[in-house]
Amino acid sequence: MAVPFEIEVEELDRRLKAGETPFLLDVREPWERDICAIGGSVLMPLATLPERVSELPADRDIIVVCHHGGRSAQATMWLRMRGFDRVTNLGGGVDAWARQIDPNMKVY
């Protein structure tokens, strides 16, 4: 089954609450992660992705996260072109997560 290119934060929240364990790839910069992050996500800034791609699991769903969904969409496309067919962009990024799922999360 093909995974969608993008999912909304409500879908990710549902999947996590159902016990699914996708690999959450945060492609923001370290200073952004210092402000807020989705629990369990792994920081790998977009510029470092080419040199760190071997660290990604090929056997798990990967959800790519950034601030609003732009950088993560770029990373999703880049990874799919390199054979990662289980990678999905999180629409709206951590900003949407904070506003719709976790009201205690800081926004910036």
List of E strands, 1-108: 6-7, 23-26, 42-43, 62-65, 87-90
Q: Is 49 a member of any domain?
A: yes
pTM higher than 0.75: yes
pLDDT tens for residues 5-24?
A: 999 999 999 999 999 999 99
**Residue 13 CB contacts under 8 Å (≥ 6 apart), including other chains:** 101
By residue range, what is the domain housing residue 32?
Answer: 6-100
Q: With respect to residue 69, please indicate whether it lies within any of the assigned structural domains.
A: yes
Per residue in 57-91, pLDDT (tens digit) is 989 999 999 999 999 999 999 999 999 999 999 99
Which positions are catalytic?
66
Instruction: Please indicate, yes or no, if residue 107 is contained in any of the structural domains.
Output: no
Q: How many domains does the chain have?
A: 1
Q: Does residue 106 form part of some domain?
A: no
Q: Give dist(CA 54, CA 48) in Å, integer.
A: 11
Task: Answer yes or no: is 82 within a domain.
Answer: yes
pLDDT of res. 2 = 78
Q: Could you tell me if residue 108 is inside a domain?
A: no
- Classify residue 61: in a domain, yes or no: yes
Ramachandran angles phi, psi of 89, nearest 5°:
-85, 140
Whether the CB-CB separation of 25 and 40 falls below 8 Å is answered with no
| Structure tokens, 99 | 């506003």
Tell me: pLDDT of 98 over 70: yes
Asked whether the predicted pLDDT for residue 1 surpasses 70, the reply is: no
Return the CATH number at 19.
Answer: 3.40.250.10
Residue 105, domain member (yes or no)? no
